[in-house]
Every structure is written in structure tokens, then in C-alpha cells.
Amino acid sequence: MAKVEVVMPQMGESITTGTITKWHKAAGEVIELDAILLEISTDKVESEIPSPIHGKIVELLYPEGATVDVGRPIAIIEDDLNAKVETSTAPKAQAAAAPEKATAPAPAAEAPEAMAHEESEDGFRFYTPLVKAMAKEAGVALSELKHIKGSGAAGRVNKADLEAYIATRGSKPAAAAAAPRAQAPAPAATAAPVGAPQTRGSDRVEIVAMDNMRKAIAKNMVLSKQTSPHVNSIDEIDMTRLVKAREKLKNEFKKREGINLTYTHFVLYAIVQALKEHPLINASIEGDNIVIKKDIHLGCAVATPTGLVVPVIKNAGDLNLTGIARQLDMLANKAKTKKLTMDDLSGGTYTFTNNGSFGTLIATPVILQPQIGIFCTGVIKKRVMVMEDDAIAVRSMMYGTHTYDHRLIDGELGSKFLASVKYHLETMNPENLI
């Protein structure tokens, strides 16, 4: 019989906290090995965290919406399925204290404030809800808890430690211990959990708190505009040849690879060829230095319910069209199931985004720092065009936008790169590439 502490995982070297966005299980429930226990978000990625064992959930130590330091316990799971859930004793302690705080908020709403208040007083020492409830019932003040030597992980005080302390100390009346606390200033009300709707002034206004991902997107977009003078070169691309080729090849490709052949695969392949021809586009700026990357790590924006993420196809310059399609499908599935890792999201040297999937004709995207360029495509639409021989024809046309950092890329190189992508898309022979 053992208890396992589930800790807040570190999703990357620079990540120090994570926010609990959703618990999939409650205290007292049985959870299978590798079943999803909770969802967390950081400023870079959202992830589903599986259970490390098959067992019964004893405690969930933080509520949804709480932001927790990496490495700190967030749940306790007992592998003895017949064990009594310890948190079942907590309601008794709360019930005993009910007359003192009849008008107080519900315990779930108090949790973030109580934890933050006690941590700030005690050098970030954490006490479980069970220990806090037992201490309050026995009249043990927080200042006394600080001096109890804990036998739990990282010196944490557990139930046995507190019971041993109470047995040797002797219980004090709860009211006496509570008196000094009654004069302490009440903690300030905290913001609602992530995503919780609020109203202000009128029921015709709804305020929704940004989640971590949206905060990060907002911060990065402002930073990019402040860092790079954006220039956009736009051209129309005749996709008629590729539309016909895709229609001819898509069923066979689906049967062979299990992947839908999309126009994005063609565009990504064309971008790779253009980057090989114009290597200065595959660069970044560090101070007064230009860093030209020899490897092409191509980011591709993927829409999720909480916003765009940009997983990276590593070493895309070494892949054929089928290889690019396989990698993109794998990354897109990981994005939709919240299983992207920091490695999947880092190291990009150039980025592609497809606004055409939303029916947009033209868009001018924001550069993803520290890259110096991003390519965007619009929707493919049939239009009447005047051809070179003055003939009138109906063609499947698409606008392409190359947005680039004018600190390094001038209009000539930026436009040549766009022309190169256009050329490869209009002359590509997919039958020889897949």
C-alpha cells in the first residue's frame, strides 16, 4: 500500500508554473493507469496529464484555476483501492467550524486565497486541506505548524505528523487559538478561475479572464510588432494545376498513407524549396549579427479550441512531400489531443499559416519571433482570368502573403521569395513527389 504524490510537471526549461484548467476526476474516485487526471496550461502549451498509477484519488490539493509552481504536489493517489479516502474527514472539521463563518464563501472558493496566504507567511510551505482542517479543529495555529517536522515528501507535514504533535502537546480550545487570527486582515478577493465569466456594471457585459495561452499569444504579438518592422508582399497564385492533381491523387494517397492530402502539404513543400533558394529568409537577428540557419525547421499554425499553436516540422528540408504530410498529421493530432511537447513547439526557423481554411481571401500575419518571416495563404477561389495570350479562362486562384522583417529583408528579396513559392506551386508535379 502506497500513496503517490502527483506533482506539477515541468513542460520546458523556462516553465516555472502551470495552471490547472480542469480536473477529470474527483477525490474518492478510482482512476486507471495513464487515464487523464487533469488538464494544465502554461504560457506555451496546454497538456493533459495522465495518472501515474491505478488507484483511488485521496486528495486534489488545488482547485481549477489555481497556478502552481513546478514540482509541487497537486494530487495524492492511493494504490490500495479499499483504503478510506482521508479527505472524508475534512467536512467534519469544516462542519464544526461552521458557526464561526456562517456567511463565509464556500470552501472551494476559499482555496486559492487560503493557500496563497499561508504560503506567503511560511516560506512557501504547503499544508494539505486535511492537515489544515485537523489543525483548526485541534486549535493548532499556523505559527505552530511551522515548527512541526514533517515526514512527508519535501518535509511536508502529513496527518500522522500532526496527530503525533497533538498527542504530545495537548489540545487547546479552538476559540483561543482562533482569537489572534480573527484580528488579522482578511485576504483580498482573488480573481475568478481561468475562463470563469464575470459581469461588471450590467448583465449586458461579460468579462472572461484570459487563459495562459491567450495571455502568451497577446504578449508575443505585441512584442513582435515592437521588434520587427513588418512588410507584406502579396501575389496571386494559380492553383488550377494542383487542384486537378490533388483531386486525382487524394483517394490513392489516403488509402496508402491514411492521411488526407491537402493543399497545405503542397504549400509547405514549395516554401521549403524557396527557403533553399533564398537562405537569408531562414535566419534570425541577434543583436547586430545575422544568424543564418542551415537546417529548415518549418512551423505550421494549427487551430485549437483555445487558440493557434505552431508545432514545428523538424528538418523539413530533408523531407519529400509525403514526409512533410506525415509529420504535419502527427503534430496536428498531438495539438488537438493536447499532447504537444516543448520540443514540438520550439526551434522553428520559418512559419506558415493558412487563413484560407476559414474562408479568408487575404491576410497579413504577424511574425513569430525570433524568425524574420511568415507565409500566409488565402482561400482558393475560381475567378475569370486574362491569360498571357489574352485568352479568357476560369482558374482556381489563391492569394499568398509573405510577411518579413524589414530590418534584414528588403522588398527585393522579400518579393523574390514570394515569387519562388508561387513558381513552385504553379509548376509542381505532385505525381513525382508523393
Which residues have a Cβ under 8 Å from the Cβ of 118 and sit 6 or more positions away?
125, 127, 132, 142
CA distance 330 to 303: 14
Report DSSP letters for 237-288, one per residue.
EE-HHHHHHHHHHHHHHHHHHSS---HHHHHHHHHHHHHHH-GGGSEEEETT
CA distance 290 to 20: 40
Decide if 240 contacts 403 (C-beta within 8 A): no
Catalytic residue, chosen from 79, 318, 343, 410, is: 410
CA distance 281 to 329: 25
Which residues have a Cβ under 8 Å from the Cβ of 352 and sit 6 or more positions away?
264, 267, 268, 271, 298, 299, 300, 301, 374, 375, 376, 377
Q: Which residues of 118-127 are buried (b: 16+ CB within 10 A; e: fewer)?
A: beeeeeebbb
E strands present in 94-227: 197-200, 202-208
CA–CA distance from 288 to each of 134, 262, 323 (Å)? 61, 40, 36
Which amino acid is present at 17? T
Q: Could you give the dihedral angle defined by the CA atoms of residues 136, 139, 144 and 147, in that order, rounded to the nearest 10 degrees?
A: -80
Q: Could you give the dihedral angle defined by the CA atoms of residues 257, 259, 260 and 263, in that order, rounded to the nearest 10 degrees?
A: -90
Asked if 297 is an active-site residue, the reply is: no
Catalytic residue, chosen from 34, 295, 343, 406, is: 406
Residue entry with cell 482547485? 63
CA distance 75 to 57: 8
Asked if 406 is an active-site residue, the reply is: yes
**For residue 371, what is the DSSP state?**
B
CB atoms inside a 10 Å sphere around CB 71: 11
CA distance 371 to 407: 12
Q: Annotated active-site positions, please?
A: 406, 410
